[in-house]
Amino acid sequence: MSLLVAIAVGAGGAVVSAPIVLGAVGFTSAGIAAGSYAAIWMSAAAIANGGGVAAGSLFSLLQSAGMAGLSWLATAVLGIVGGAVGGIVASLANFI
């Protein structure tokens, strides 16, 4: 696989899979899914923070992304990171 193809696959895969992964762990458009990993995490965060989830925390950002979707900036960052990972994996595969 060429390096450019690996970068494109990595970028596309990250952008396409992000909403699927968010839903799978419990961050849905209807809120936090009962009994999910996100619900367990939310409970632990609320206990640690005196009954609520801190604004601006990673949990609150993921909850927002699950409910409203990813912003254009988040989508761009995911694409860049996914492309970089794809490029790194392809480069490392050439050494094997």
State pLDDT tens for residues 25-59.
999 999 999 999 999 999 998 898 888 888 888 89
User: Which residues constitute the domain of residue 89?
Assistant: 3-95
Residue 1 pLDDT greater than 90, yes or no: no
pLDDT tens digits, 8-28 = 999 999 999 999 999 999 999
> In the 3-class helix/strand/coil scheme, how is 14-79 assigned residue by residue?
HHHHHHHHHHHHCEECCEECCCCHHHHHHHHHHHHCCCCCCCCCHHHHHHHHHHHCCCHHHHHHHH
Burial of 38 (0-12, 13-18, 19+ CB in 10 A): buried
pLDDT reported for residue 37:
95
> HSE of 58 in the Cβ direction (CA atoms, 13 Å)?
4
Task: Record the pTM.
Answer: 0.79
**Alpha carbons 29 and 90: distance in angstroms, whole number:** 35
Number of domains in the chain: 1
